[in-house]
Structure 1
Amino acid sequence: MEKFNIAWENAISFNNLDKEKNRMCYICDDILKFKDMNTKEPEPGMKGWNIDWVDGNVNNHNSSNLVATHSICNENKTNINGFWLYISKKNYEDKISWNSEIKASFFAK
């Protein structure tokens, strides 16, 4: 359970949403809900989340290497020549923060 809490804390937070309940999946830029922790995707449209290992090494449990992402997003990424590629990114104009620091206020569309 501790790994999940660390991954949640490392996920990007929205300034206009409760960061204890909502974070952003860095793969699809959509909202993660804390209550949906560790659920699988039994049908399309469900947004359960799990841990992603930033460096791709599932044995590296350093706290800086864990981040929360949608389970389905983890399934829809691929590693090509050492680079992780993701499918279907969205863009938000809301301000976001990473570990309490504002990092961006606009994503180009």
Structure 2
Amino acid sequence: MTRSSYPLEGRPVPATRARLRSGKLLNLDCTLLSECTLYDLENGDIGIVVQDPDLPVPDRILIDDDKDLTRVFTEIHWRMGPYLFGMYLEPPVPLHEFHGAEEN
């Protein structure tokens, strides 16, 4: 994951009509890392805002979308403080269909 030293360099652009919604960041073993706010990006990927700008976040995580009730395998490609840019590695899966899903 790269951290930008210039505020606007490589910054992902929010979608014209971004949907703000709550979510959760999870390790690949489904343990909770943090609650977060999710928003759509113009290219179809996902923007993430965490409360703690120093929260250690691995390069690959799972994201639970509380509005869509989905879980998706995501790679973090960009970060500036509490703002993260995630690229979907597969289509989102409904939580009730996710293999190995645990209550968090």
**Which is helix-richer, 1 or 2?**
1
Structure with a larger share of its residues in strand: 2
